[in-house]
Amino acid sequence: MNAIASRLLRWYDQHGRHDLPWQHPRSAYRVWISETMLQQTQVATVIPYFQHFIARWPDLHALAAAALDDVLAAWSGLGYYARARHLHAAATICLREYAGELPRDLAALCALPGIGRSTAGAIMALAHDRPQPILDGNVRRVLCRHRGVRGWPGSASVQQELWTLAAAWLPTARCADYTQALMDLGATLCTPAAPDCTACPLREDCIARNEDLVAALPERKPGKPLPQRTTCALIVRDRAGRVLLQRRPPVGVWAGLWSLPEADGIDTAQAWVDRHARVGEVETLHEIPHVFSHFRLRIHPLLWRDARAKAVIGDNADLRWHAVEDLPTIGLPAPIRRLLEEIT
């Protein structure tokens, strides 16, 4: 076993995380669900979602049989909803093509919706104890600092360098523990801010520590201002207090979720509402800012009360009235859920 892996494993045996819910048991299905949830989401946030998800859909058969709306509802609040849609789609494929199991072949795993090289490697290593490199955010940070890798880790050339390093560090035994150790090191010691270098098992030959580059590595993505977008969110409530929801398109922001109808301005919004319901005066609510990874959104909520539906609503499967008390049962974008909670 190489020296890097030996030091990591000794540290992991004493200081690693051994009580995460997806470690008991560490099955391929549970690893897959947890790794998908952990993409761009902190462990503390993921744990209750994972526990609820596994309690409801304990295996791939159950997930494939679930309604997509129910899966999206269980995901509500985690963000990046494409992850939930990909889980459901991949489960359906596995039920049809792999006898209800995740394939054990790296290429076959990577061919499934939402599973990239790092997630596939984590499934192979953690669930099957096979030597496969991973390259999540924590691992990238450890590699960049230890080997002094310059450049933004998201660029193709730097990513290739990091994959080569990750593969070179792999042991031939205890692959599952080694992979968890590497992730734990980045999560608990080699953190983005205020890393605890004195406790790190790799400190002696860490280039970033020895050359005072810890704060500079990994290098950030070359900055540019996020574009700004605005939209009007239409809150139409009937006399029973129900709110009119519209299903989002199957692609794009919040794809497939139920949300509020939108318009690009107050005149367009009023025209849309008049086509679908008889309403009184509109109320303008406070603007809500929301930041996505690739743009900033300014939401202008408009509220109509005591609406009476027109027949056109019943003819549209993507429009429906929903009781406010039942909103937690469906997948709603987080800012829309908070907005509706504030006005009820």
Active site residues: 35
Q: Which residues of 216-232 are buried (b: 16+ CB within 10 A; e: fewer)?
A: ebbbeeeeeeeeeeebb
Is 285 in contact with 112 (CB distance < 8 Å)?
Answer: no
Whole-number Å distance between alpha carbons of 133 and 168: 9
260: Cβ contacts below 8 Å, ≥ 6 apart: 233, 234, 235, 243, 244, 245, 246, 301, 336, 339, 340
Whole-number Å distance between alpha carbons of 28 and 288: 40
210: Cβ contacts below 8 Å, ≥ 6 apart: none
Q: What is the DSSP letter of 285?
A: P
Cα 17 to chain center, whole Å? Answer: 21
Phi, then psi, of 227 in degrees rounded to 5: -65, 155
Angle at 184 between CA 179 and CA 185, to 5 degrees: 100
Quick one: residue 129, left, alpha or beta (phi over 0 = left, psi -120 to 50 = alpha)? left
DSSP string, 312-325: HHHT-TTEEEE-GG
Q: Which residue has the tokens 């791939």?
A: 60
Q: Which residue has the tokens 């596995």?
A: 94
Is 171 in contact with 182 (CB distance < 8 Å)?
Answer: no
